[in-house]
């Protein structure tokens, strides 16, 4: 058994200020010289980008729909091996899950990890009623250790005093902080949520505000005591050792920049553990290096469509290398980039043209939530008959797909994908899907991708005179 100081930041409902409180706490802990490992509950790339920025360590996701309990606990333990404390941001309300039992909820994550929970309560237009909300959360599931409360959007000292007195009197739970109303904490929204932290350096004012105010408005000493009192957890089983494919280490290019930033750290680590070397490519400026595979993650290609279109050198190189058999794995925004054209807000932009379709975006989400797909068609990376869990969140739709040239490999059981029935567009050694995967949920993905890249590398070397 191993000790891991830890705390979950949850709320009775979404939009209560969990990210603000989580980021402020991480900033305060880091300011004290502690190594803080951040986590985000559920499938999310944007909130983790902010927590990564504040913590100085890659935020990782914990998701019971994608991971069984041993996998989730093992991931947590491995990521915190060299950390002083873990801070886990929940999602939605504390008990909100995929069914009436709360499967996949923040509460379930807290129970699995035996982690104390700090409840963030949005105090706008509320005083004594806050005690009723907190008491309900405390009594709803006695297995959840509700260890304290932090109020958000507190108007003034009198407001804070009444909130604190009510909760501590009726609930017998300590109030551990009160964040004031402060617009400098706000990060602008976009159609998929907050703007990612790495996209615009001007947005980092929110980070500076969190850092400046954290020690003032949070009782960091008491929060540390609560986190350090969490019980020990079993040591995790080791991950498979890294392997080197026969013929050498293939090089996989990862397009990672302001337009494409949605990557789980575990996916990149899984590729390296499977024997690949990684090289990062900026699709807004770079050309295509001599790689043996290409990974294009999600993001916001529509926001940077003009710049992506302007980089003709990269678009042409990707299209030509696809024709030569380059293995490519593309997710969501990556799918959009691999098509012929992208249309957004009445303007159309040329993309790589490697795949025979076009993409339009509108204001309404097409696919939003978890996905389950069955692999029913041949493709470069997944055996037919495999069932894959993942997630999607997109406002785009594929049209003008030439099914005489490309084919669809995934039958959608849950979710939307390309058209509500299918996902996974295949052409040569390219697989492009709206479905995002997590390597811990799909352990065969990285080895399959790396083997395909190694085969392509061997083919290239044979062709060189």
What would the pLDDT profile of 14-55 be if each residue is shown by its tens digit?
A: 999 998 899 999 999 999 999 999 999 999 998 898 899 899
Same domain, 74 and 179: yes
Residue 235 belongs to a domain? no
Q: What is the set of active-site residues? A: 332
What is residue 47's predicted lDDT score, i.e. its pLDDT?
A: 87
Same domain, 224 and 148: yes
The one-character DSSP state at 181 is: P
pLDDT at position 263 over 80: yes
The maximal CA–CA distance of the chain, rounded, in angstroms, is 82
Residue 238 belongs to a domain? no
**Interior angle at CA 372, CA 443 and CA 141, nearest 5:** 90
Residue 340, both tokens: 């012929």
Residue 237, both tokens: 């089983």
Q: Is the pTM of this model over 0.85?
A: yes
CA gap 181, 178 in Å, rounded: 10
Mind listing the pLDDT tens digit for each residue in 286-330? 999 999 999 999 999 999 999 999 999 999 999 999 999 999 999
What does the pLDDT average to over 375-386? Answer: 97
Same domain, 223 and 257: no
Beta bridge partners of 194: 189
Residue 287 belongs to a domain? yes
CATH of the domain at 337: 3.40.50.880
> In terms of Cα–Cα distance, which of 163, 14, 194 is closest to 94?
14
What is residue 461's predicted lDDT score, i.e. its pLDDT?
A: 80
CA gap 58, 73 in Å, rounded: 17
CA gap 270, 162 in Å, rounded: 50
Give the dihedral of Cα atoms 367, 372, 375, 380; nearest 10 deg. 70
Q: Three-state DSSP class for 409?
A: strand
What is residue 432's predicted lDDT score, i.e. its pLDDT?
A: 98
Backbone phi and psi for residue 56, each to the nearest 5 degrees, phi listed first: 75, 15
Residue 1 belongs to a domain? no
Beta bridge partners of 60: 39
Same domain, 290 and 391: yes
Residue 185 belongs to a domain? yes
Same domain, 158 and 260: no
Residue 400 belongs to a domain? yes
What is residue 390's predicted lDDT score, i.e. its pLDDT?
A: 98
What does the pLDDT average to over 169-175? Answer: 97
Q: In Å, how far are 37, 165, 196 from 48, measured between CA atoms? A: 11, 34, 9
pLDDT at position 335 over 70: yes
pLDDT at position 192 over 90: no
Q: Residue 314 is part of which domain span?
A: 251-463
Residue 242 belongs to a domain? no
Same domain, 204 and 313: no
Share of the chain above pLDDT 70, in %: 93
Q: What is the mean pLDDT of the chain?
A: 93
Last-in-domain residue among 193, 228, 263:
228
Same domain, 368 and 443: yes
Residue with token string 């030439």: 402
Mean pLDDT check: name the lowest of 139-148, 167-176, 234-243: 234-243
Instruction: List strand residue ranges (DSSP E) for 218-313, in order.
Output: 251-255, 260-262, 277-281, 293-296, 298-299
Residue 378, both tokens: 């041949």
Residue 308: its H or E element: helix 305-310
Same domain, 309 and 373: yes
Same domain, 257 and 376: yes
Residue with token string 């991971």: 67
Residue 244 belongs to a domain? no
CB 340 within 8 A of CB 350: yes
CATH of the domain at 129: 3.40.50.300
Domain count, the chain: 2
Same domain, 275 and 224: no
What is residue 362's predicted lDDT score, i.e. its pLDDT?
A: 85
> In terms of Cα–Cα distance, which of 185, 215, 232, 206 is closest to 4?
232
Same domain, 281 and 202: no
- Side-chain-side CA neighbours of 433 within 13 Å: the count stands at 33
What is residue 61's predicted lDDT score, i.e. its pLDDT?
A: 98
Residue with token string 């949920």: 441
Last-in-domain residue among 197, 228, 259:
228
Last-in-domain residue among 228, 260, 284:
228
CA gap 436, 195 in Å, rounded: 19
If one compares 398 and 364, the residue with the highest pLDDT of the two is 398
CA gap 155, 160 in Å, rounded: 8
Mean pLDDT check: name the lowest of 111-125, 195-209, 269-283: 195-209
Same domain, 165 and 259: no
CA gap 262, 132 in Å, rounded: 39
């Amino acid at each position: 058994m191993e000790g891991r100081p830890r705390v979950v930041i949850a709320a009775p409902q979404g939009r209560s200020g969990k990210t603000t409180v989580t980021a402020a706490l991480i900033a305060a802990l880091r300011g004290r010289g502690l190594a803080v490992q951040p986590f985000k509950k559920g499938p999310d790339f944007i909130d983790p980008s902010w927590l990564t920025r504040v913590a100085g360590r890659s935020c990782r996701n914990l998701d019971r729909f994608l991971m069984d309990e041993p996998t989730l606990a093992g991931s947590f333990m491995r990521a915190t091996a060299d950390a002083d404390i873990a801070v886990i941001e929940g999602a939605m309300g504390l008990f909100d899950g995929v069914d009436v039992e709360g499967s996949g909820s923040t509460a379930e994550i807290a129970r699995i990890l035996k982690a104390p929970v700090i409840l963030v309560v949005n105090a706008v237009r509320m005083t004594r009623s806050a005690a009723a909300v907190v008491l309900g959360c405390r009594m709803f599931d006695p297995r959840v250790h509700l260890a304290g409360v932090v109020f958000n959007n507190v108007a003034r000292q009198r407001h804070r005093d009444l909130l604190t007195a009510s909760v501590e009197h009726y609930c017998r739970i300590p109030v551990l902080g009160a964040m004031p109303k402060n617009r400098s904490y706000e990060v602008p929204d976009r159609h998929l949520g907050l703007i990612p932290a790495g996209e615009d350096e001007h947005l980092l004012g929110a980070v500076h505000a969190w850092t400046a105010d954290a020690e003032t408005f949070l009782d960091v000493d008491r929060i540390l005591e609560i986190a350090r009192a969490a019980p020990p957890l079993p040591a995790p089983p080791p991950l498979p050792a890294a392997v080197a494919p026969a013929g050498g280490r293939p090089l996989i290019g990862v397009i990672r920049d302001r337009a494409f930033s949605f990557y789980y750290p575990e996916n990149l680590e899984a590729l390296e553990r499977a024997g690949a070397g990684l090289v990062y490519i900026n699709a807004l400026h770079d050309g295509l290096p001599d790689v043996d595979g290409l990974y294009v993650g999600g993001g916001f290609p529509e926001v940077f469509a003009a710049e992506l279109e302007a980089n003709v050198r990269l678009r042409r190189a990707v299209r030509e290398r696809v024709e030569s058999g380059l293995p490519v794995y593309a997710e969501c925004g990556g799918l959009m980039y691999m098509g012929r054209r992208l249309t957004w807000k009445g303007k159309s932009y040329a993309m790589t043209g490697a795949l025979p379709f076009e993409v339009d975006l509108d204001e309404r989400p097409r696919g939003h939530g978890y996905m389950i797909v069955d692999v029913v068609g041949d493709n470069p990376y997944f055996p037919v008959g495999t069932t894959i869990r993942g997630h999607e969140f997109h406002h785009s739709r594929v049209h003008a797909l030439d099914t005489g040239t490309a084919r669809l490999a995934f039958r959608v059981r849950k979710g939307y994908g390309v058209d509500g029935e299918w996902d996974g567009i295949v052409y040569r050694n390219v697989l492009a899907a709206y479905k995002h995967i997590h390597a811990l949920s799909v352990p065969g993905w990285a080895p399959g991708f790396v083997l395909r890249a190694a085969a392509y590398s061997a083919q290239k070397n044979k062709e060189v005179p």
